[in-house]
Structure 1
Amino acid sequence: MFDIFDIRQERGILKNEQSPLGSDSFTLVWIRFGQTTYRLAGQASQLHKNDLLLIPAGVPAAEMRDAGSIRESVVVRFSPADSAAARLLPLLARRAPLRWVTHMPELLLEKLLYIVEQWTARDRYFSVMCGALLTELIVTISREYDEGEKAPSSIHHIEVMKRYIEDHYRGKITKNELGGCIGVSPNYAASLFRSVTGMTISEYVHRRRMKTAVYMLRHSQLTARDISEHLGYSDPSFFNRTFKRIIEQLPSDLIAERSDRE
């Protein structure tokens, strides 16, 4: 479990200045869009989309805000609640900053944004909830890091499968289809997809559908049933349950927000 001191989302055009970070805690930086540069113990490190940066406590760090640069990032400052977390997670025993290019951006972004949501809402016990969610996030990152860099061929296969899903996510997608599109066995395709993205093929497809569902619920006049059918769900109740599990809201909640705006 972790104690969180601050969580913030930053976006927009950066100005010429330095943004120092506190050195008395760990800092986790996620670049969601664009690029930026951090100065870490006197050394410059440029970060791009889907890069993670873990800065250990005690390391002087500042974001170098170059004129004209655009980036969107999430920054979390935290410390382990006790020494057990540091002992169990080698990532936290590092003394040097870690820059890591994740190959499961969808999964990590979802977890990070949920932490941001809980931190911003500040409901009862929000700090405990955020600490638990951050623990889950750090464990997920640690597992990917422990497995090491993926082979370029594996990354290429994943990108091909993701593009196929992007083009066909409203229909049924099987491991047979994805195996065929990269020329490997269905079981190998499914195993590779999960090991790199952290999600099964089915879960990835559901999450891609829910991304479209959120947009349509907010920006169209379609009913939840209409959207359910559009996204390939024959059972509206299953669509509602899936939406609730992934988005943490019901479709009716977003429809209500739509009505409030009108």
Structure 2
Amino acid sequence: MINLVSVCLDDMDSQWKIEEKETLTDMLILVIHGKAIYVLNGETIELNKGDLLFISQGVRRAGMNAPEGLHQKYSVHFFAERKEQFPFDVSCSFRKVQTRHLDYMKMRFASLQQHWFGRNPHDGLICSGIALELLGYFSRELVEERFASVKLRLMQEVQDYIRTHYREPIRIEDLSHHIDRAPNYITQTFKAVTGMTPITYLHQVRVYAACDLILNSKMTIGQVSEYLGYSDQAHFNRVFKKIMGYPPSFIQSKIRGL
């Protein structure tokens, strides 16, 4: 959980300047126009349109407009209750990445600012949710920047294929034929990009579908297992427990107890 302190939009401010001082909160910044210059712990950082920057609390920070002109950027100031929950290394003073999803990120930052200043009922909860989403996207961007765009696109095609055909007996050879790449390439690249093998991802998709079916249909666990392509219910139970941490019968018992 994070505690928001402020959400700001610096909008082509000719007077914008930050004298060097210690950053009092954690920060997440998105530049949407122009260029800004930061000096973080003595290191000069240029932020261009589409750059995301995370700054840890305690970093000595100065900032100014670039000589080329003014800029627009969003900045979110917050405290994290448990930094170890962040999916990226927060021990670094700062991290910068160029977003591949600028239009969407702009929309979410704008929505965050709107709710922050709206102060309507439940806006605080909405703001916390959006801020966590932005940190999640920032973390994913850090991972994705290590890979070429073509690899990311191909692995997205593999994921899309699995999500479409998850009830079928998918083999690596099927994925190989789908994107015209060797099986070894798919297995190695998919794991590098997603952190799991294609087969593990398939089981994950099936298990999440199983949760929905158990909660929202009258199917038995055996019927759910067969519907999702498992010929052996015992195998389905083992896969489900490995991913969720509890067996599918646990959900049924909770439903019956309501």
TM-score, normalization: structure 2? 0.54
Give distance in 2, aligned partners of 1:153 and 1:186. 17
- Residue in 1 aligned with 2:224? 227
Q: Does 1:63 align with 2:60?
A: no
Q: Classify 1:63/1:175 alpha carbon distance in 2 versus 1 (closer, same or farther; 3 Å).
A: same
How far did residue 238 of structure 1 move? 1.3
How far did residue 95 of structure 1 move? 3.4
Q: Classify 1:250/1:26 alpha carbon distance in 2 versus 1 (closer, same or farther; 3 Å).
A: farther
Deviations 1:161-180 (A, max 9, x none): 11111111112212111111
Give distance in 2, aligned partners of 1:166 and 1:253. 25
Give distance in 2, aligned partners of 1:99 and 1:149. 11
Residue pair 1:55, 1:98 contacting (<8 A) in 2 also: no
- Residue in 1 aligned with 2:249? 252
Residue pair 2:213, 2:219 contacting (<8 A) in 1 also: yes
Give the AA of the match of 2:158.
M
How far did residue 76 of structure 1 move? 4.5
Give distance in 1, aligned partners of 2:231 and 2:238. 13
Residue pair 2:55, 2:93 contacting (<8 A) in 1 also: no
How far did residue 230 of structure 1 move? 0.6
Residue pair 2:190, 2:198 contacting (<8 A) in 1 also: yes
Q: Classify 1:180/1:149 alpha carbon distance in 2 versus 1 (closer, same or farther; 3 Å).
A: same
1:108-257 aligned within 5 A: 145=142, 148-257=145-254
Q: Classify 1:223/1:96 alpha carbon distance in 2 versus 1 (closer, same or farther; 3 Å).
A: closer
SS at match of 1:93: coil
Residue pair 2:56, 2:93 contacting (<8 A) in 1 also: yes
Deviations 1:214-233 (A, max 9, x none): 10111111111110111111
How far did residue 63 of structure 1 move? 3.3
Extract unaligned runs of 5+ from structure 1.
Answer: 1-6, 11-16, 30-34, 65-74, 81-88, 103-140
How far did residue 93 of structure 1 move? 2.5
Q: Classify 1:255/1:162 alpha carbon distance in 2 versus 1 (closer, same or farther; 3 Å).
A: same
- Residue in 1 aligned with 2:94? 95
How far did residue 149 of structure 1 move? 3.1
Deviations 1:54-84 (A, max 9, x none): 44123699639xxxxxxxxxx944457xxxx
Q: Classify 1:154/1:146 alpha carbon distance in 2 versus 1 (closer, same or farther; 3 Å).
A: closer
Deviations 1:6-61 (A, max 9, x none): x2599xxxxxx9459xx6675799xxxxx9x9xx99999989xxxx9744123699
RMSD: 4.4
Give distance in 1, aligned partners of 2:254 and 2:37. 46
Q: Classify 1:54/1:240 alpha carbon distance in 2 versus 1 (closer, same or farther; 3 Å).
A: farther
SS at match of 2:223: helix
- The structure number with the bigger radius of gyration is 2
Extract unaligned runs of 5+ from structure 2.
Answer: 9-22, 39-46, 62-73, 102-138
- Residue in 2 aligned with 1:131? none
How far did residue 253 of structure 1 move? 1.3
Identity %, equivalent residues: 26
Give distance in 2, aligned partners of 1:252 and 1:189. 34
SS at match of 1:92: coil
How far did residue 249 of structure 1 move? 1.9
Q: Classify 1:152/1:98 alpha carbon distance in 2 versus 1 (closer, same or farther; 3 Å).
A: closer
Q: Classify 1:25/1:234 alpha carbon distance in 2 versus 1 (closer, same or farther; 3 Å).
A: farther
